[in-house]
Amino acid sequence: MIDFGFQKAKSSTVNLDNVDMRLYYALAEKEPDIKRCMECGSCTAACTSGPFNGMSLRQVIHGLQRGTDVRQMVSGCMLCGKCSMVCPRGINTRHLLLTISRIYTK
């Protein structure tokens, strides 16, 4: 193999064999719409609170798929519903975020 001098940063590598996806599967069971999400980023672009507190539904879904704790991001949502209005798949993102919050409180 040719070495071009590039390598992945340790902080951005994820070992997908060791990921705990129980929260994602629990969410998919209650909200099957999460599987319809194509992660286009429209919800993040329309988010009012995103620029101020780092709220990003796209990153929340990625975090759940990677087994990371996304409580801080979810708590930053104002539940305004703009993300639901711009979703090209028609996903009720507000309900999705509420379900994520409920899963964490169990």
pLDDT, tens digit, 9 for 90 and up, residues 81-90: 999 999 999 9
The amino acid sitting at 49 is S
Q: Which residue has the higher pLDDT, 2 or 41?
A: 41
Q: How large is the average pLDDT for residues 86-99?
A: 93
Q: How far apart are the C-alpha atoms of 58 and 47, rounded to whole Å?
A: 11
List, in order of start, the domains of the chain with CATH numbers: 18-105 (1.10.1060.10)
Distance CA 103, CA 56 (A): 18
pLDDT of residue 32 exceeding 80: yes
